[in-house]
Amino acid sequence: MIGVFDSGLGGLTILKHFLKELPQYNYIYLGDSARAPYGNRSQDVIYGYAKEAVDFLFSKGCVIIIFACNTASSQALRKIQQEYLPKKYPDKKVLGVIIPLVEKSAKNDKIKKIGIIGTKATIASNVYCKELLKINAKLKIFQKSAPLLVPLIEEGWIKKKETKMIFKKYLRELKMEQIDALILACTHYPILIKNIKRIMPKRCIIYNPGEIVAKSFKKYLEKHPKLKTHQSNSPICKFYTTDSINNFKTLGEKFLGQKINEIKKIKL
């Protein structure tokens, strides 16, 4: 069983590509929508939330968890891997979404200037800058936090003119820098990827995070055959939310691109 965790609905854009790339596995998705967005919270609070998510998913039989949330990946993943897992789950794994995107971007010789857009917490962590420069120290990096986007998306305001106006404002500075590529450092943002591509110049590369992460995870599983992530002839996908089931279903199906039949509400 593979666990996929996000602060809300954004991680469904990652799960969507897992189901395409690796349809033979069983999945559990956990969206902590009741406490979203994580991006405006402190690192200690985010770490506490992440521990609760890890405990829940492992209790449900997951052997590996993907933090399909840039905020959790930037603020809590390392501490989870280095401190929490060795003590409590030494035989389990937790991975994030940042490194696959970093490697794809930094290893492209055509990219000299990179823009990054994400939540306050992700941008403040500078994790993308640090990891990108480890691979290519010559890169010029421009960051922009976009704190209003996740709540607007979670509220279903994707097509509202207000959302489009706010998004244009966030992207304006990055556009003026004439960046070669834009990293969507929040898994909610791919739901707006068509709008983003309309705003940014055609020459600007915009990777879909779900595609990159799914392909990277497939390679990871191939390199780690000892993980007891059994394939299934009749794979299942379970969904859990900490908030309204109706809201999760209505918006979640747009993120996932398919019907969600059963959702359970839980309290972490």
Length of the chain equals 268
Active-site residue, from 62, 129, 186, 237: 186
CA distance 232 to 224: 18
Say whether the peptide bond before residue 37 is cis (omega within 30 degrees of 0): yes
* Integer CA distances (angstroms), 232 to 79, 225, 229, in order: 32, 15, 9
Q: How many CA atoms lie within 13 A of 225 on its CB side?
A: 1
- Structure-block tokens of residue 73: 């990946």
Contact criterion met (CB below 8 Å) for 190 and 210: yes
- Is residue 69 annotated as a catalytic residue, yes or no? yes
Q: Which two tokens stand for residue 267?
A: 């309290």
Residue 129 falls in the annotated catalytic set: no
Sign of the four-CA dihedral 123, 128, 133, 136: negative
Catalytic residue among 69, 129, 204, 237: 69
Nearest to 144 by CA among 183, 105, 170: 170
Q: Point out the residues that are catalytic.
A: 69, 186
